[in-house]
Every structure is written in C-alpha cells, then in structure tokens.
C-alpha cells in the first residue's frame, strides 16, 4: 500500500512539475507578409465606373448631411455629384435614395462636381444594431485556427465611422477585415435580392471573452462568438457604400488588405470564400429562431417570419493573418493540470486560462497607440486608432 501511495505521489509530483514547465509563454508566430504600407495608398482609391457600380459617400455641408455620388478618390479628396443639389429634396441616405431613384436613373445623372476631404466622410449609410456574421469562411483562416466548417452567429453592435477609435480596455483585442453585404430592401426567404450594397467592414474581437464562452465541444455552434465580438465600437465600416449592377460578379473581383502599424497582416480575395453570399443568406434563414447568449440574454439572428430587414449587414468572414493563434498542446495540458490541482473539475472552460495568460503576457494583441488600416480599391478605407477607453 505504501509503495502504491509513493508511486502516486511521484506521478503527481511529476505531473505538477510538467504543468509548471508547460505554463510558460510561447513565442509569437511569424507574420504572413513582409510588405509595408505606403502612405500614398491611404490617399487614393480606384472607383468603379457607374456602369459597373454606384459609389456613395456622406459628408457635412453647412451642418447638414449631404450624399455624394462618388466619381473620383485621389490625393485625399473625394469628388462627385452632390445629390442634394442635383436632386433637391432627395434623401441623404444612399439606401433610401437608391430605392426611390433606381440604378439606371442614378447611373445617368449629371451635375456639378463637389470635392470633400476623405477624412471628413461620415458613416455611409444608416444601419441597424443587429448583424449577421460568418465564422471560418476562408480555408486559410480555418487552418490557422484549426477549424474546418463555416458557421453563423449574430453580432450585436452598430456600425461606427471609418476613422472611429477602437477601445482596448482589458480585452485581448484582435482585428479582422471582412467584406460586408448590406440588404437594401426587406429580404424574404427564397427570393434572391436583385441588388445588395457592399462595404468594407471590420470585425474586432475580444479573444478573452470569446474563449471563455465558446463551446469547446462544438465551436461551430458559434457559442461565445457573439459575446466576444459585440462590444460598442467593434465594427467600424468603410467610408463608401457601393451598389454594383451585378453584385455577385463584382464582389469576387475585390482585393481586401489590412495593415497593423504599417505592417501588412491580412489579404482577402472574396472569390475564395467557402460560402458565397447566396449560401450565407440561405444559412441565415435556416437558423431563424435559434438563439445565442449575449450578456446573459438570448439573442437571435435578425430574421423575423422569414424576412431579413433592410440595412442588415452581413459580415462574410475573415482571411488568415489574425493575431489569435490556436492553443498549443502544452497550453491545453497546463489547463487540464491547473483544473485538476485547483479542484475545478466541473469547470471545463478553465482549461483555456493558461492560453489566455500567455496571450496577455505576450503583448501581441492590439494595444493603445496601435493603428489598424483596412483598404480595398472600388470599396473603401478604414483607419482605426486603438485607444485605452
């Protein structure tokens, strides 16, 4: 009996020693790109010809919001037709105006040119507080986080302007660049939309909150993702709203790029998405009535009686290159050991704590003073300063 207890004691001691060794910080992974951001790329964007897509921006004139039909974006200036001057009494929201005028009338519109600073552009459209987000929609991103299948979850936050600051607080703050699809009219199940708006979008995340609420046995359920991605300020969108004549062909030709402190981190071609926009819509409709937890309350996707409301933003997923890295085996071992030796056997979520401690100690997540820039020709620009609060 004494010999048995001695063996057990030695094994436990060895396990405890291995736990202490395993619970040491891991080195950060190497970046995917070596390219640096050239300052002039923040000043100029290609704009689609009106026959291909209509491009809208909003700005203030004499204290009132005005809508610009954009024709040129160069040297930090955005030029085009002031639609409130060309169409007196028209709406200063691009979705309202597009639904009233139609594509053909706006494509043919002529008027005096107006030029405004790109820095002064406002939120390009009036949105909603509940969005649809897709996880793991680029194969390369699935590989880097060790997940395979795409999934859907609600993101419960409203859009903020392209140059809004993003709070760091005590988050493990991560960036994600995404292509956003915007519904222009009520969208009914089984009826594909004729037009959709496109916008450059961000999907900032608190990886700590996400990991502490994720379903470790079924990550594809989306549990925890709403909690980790719905803080106020976690969704700046680009300074332009684009409505293509053929949105399904147009979006697959785009190239999205993200830089952090001038270093390129992400590059996305939406043609590589696992789910295209029609699959995203069908998967969203299929989950009507399902709920996810957010701040202790159940929330659902914005689908009611088979209808998605206008102005809903669909975040279509991010490519590889995020800060988050999948937990290493040594971190999982440390988590299991910590749960065992601290008698937290009934708290399986506790196994992620060594991983989160490593992440905080590494300092590799976004910090106050960092700058994140997202850019896509024919789509828009986002530039966010990371701040303490």
* Higher pLDDT pick, 160 / 4: 160
Q: How do residues 89-103 score in pLDDT, each as one tens digit?
A: 999 999 999 999 999
Share of the chain above pLDDT 70, in %: 88
Give residue 351's pLDDT.
77
Please state whether beta strands 131-135 and 313-315 pair in parallel, antiparallel, or not at all (unpaired).
parallel
User: In this structure, what token pair is assigned to residue 271?
Assistant: 């043609």
Q: What is the pTM of this model?
A: 0.90
Which of 164, 192, 199 shows the shortest CA–CA distance to 178? 199
List, by residue range, all CATH 3.90.850.10 domains of the chain.
131-387
Task: Answer for the pair 120, 59: CB distance below 8 angstroms, yes or no.
Answer: yes
6 has pLDDT over 90: no
296 has pLDDT over 80: yes
What is the secondary structure of 84-107 as a DSSP string? HHHSTT--SSHHHHHHHH-HHHHH
Q: How do residues 206-257 score in pLDDT, each as one tens digit?
A: 999 999 999 988 999 999 999 999 999 999 999 999 999 999 999 999 999 9
Q: How do residues 323-371 score in pLDDT, each as one tens digit?
A: 998 887 777 676 667 666 665 545 556 678 888 888 999 999 999 999 9
- The residue-averaged pLDDT of 113-126 equals 97
What CATH fold (topology level) applies to the domain 131-387?
Fumarylacetoacetate hydrolase; domain 2 (3.90.850)
Distance, in Å, from the CA atom of 339 to the CA atom of 237, rounded to the nearest integer, reads 41
Give residue 312's pLDDT.
98
**Count of beta carbons in the 10 Å neighbourhood of residue 140:** 14
User: In this structure, what token pair is assigned to residue 71?
Assistant: 């024709």
């Amino acid at each position: 009996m004494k010999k048995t207890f001695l063996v057990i004691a030695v094994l436990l001691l060895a396990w405890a020693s291995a736990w202490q060794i395993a619970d040491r910080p891991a080195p950060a992974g190497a970046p995917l790109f070596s390219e640096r951001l050239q300052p002039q790329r923040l000043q100029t964007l290609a704009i689609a010809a009106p026959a291909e897509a209509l491009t809208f921006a909003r700005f203030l004139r004499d204290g009132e919001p005005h809508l610009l039909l954009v024709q040129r974006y160069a040297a930090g200036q955005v030029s085009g037709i002031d639609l409130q001057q060309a169409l007196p009494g028209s709406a200063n929201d691009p979705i309202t105006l597009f639904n009233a005028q139609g594509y053909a009338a706006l494509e043919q519109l002529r008027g005096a040119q107006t030029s405004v600073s790109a820095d002064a552009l406002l939120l390009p459209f009036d949105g909603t507080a509940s969005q649809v987000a897709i996880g793991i929609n680029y194969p390369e991103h699935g590989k880097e986080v060790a997940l395979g299948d795409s999934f859907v979850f609600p993101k419960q936050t409203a859009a903020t302007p392209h140059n809004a600051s993003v709070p760091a607080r005590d988050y493990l703050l991560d960036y994600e660049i995404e292509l956003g699809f915007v519904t222009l009219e009520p969208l009914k199940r089984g009826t594909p939309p004729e037009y959709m708006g496109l916008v450059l979008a961000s999907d900032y995340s608190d990886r700590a909150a996400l990991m502490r609420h994720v379903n470790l046995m079924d990550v594809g359920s989306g549990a925890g993702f709403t909690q980790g991605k719905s803080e106020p300020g976690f969704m700046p969108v680009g300074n332009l709203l684009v409505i293509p004549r053929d949105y399904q062909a147009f979006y697959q030709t785009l190239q999205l790029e993200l830089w952090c402190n001038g270093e390129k981190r992400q590059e996305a071609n939406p043609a590589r998405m696992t789910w295209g926009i029609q699959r995203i819509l069908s998967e969203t409709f299929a989950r009507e009535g399902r709920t996810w937890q957010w701040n202790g309350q159940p929330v659902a996707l914005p689908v009611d009686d088979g209808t998605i409301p206008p102005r809903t933003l669909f975040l279509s997923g991010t490519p590889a290159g995020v800060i988050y890295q999948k937990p290493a085996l040594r971190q999982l071992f440390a988590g299991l050991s910590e749960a065992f030796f601290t008698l937290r056997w009934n708290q399986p979520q506790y196994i992620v704590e060594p991983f989160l401690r490593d992440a905080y100690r590494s300092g590799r997540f976004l910090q106050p003073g960092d700058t994140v820039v997202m850019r896509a020709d024919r789509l828009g620009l986002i530039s966010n300063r990371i701040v303490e609060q």
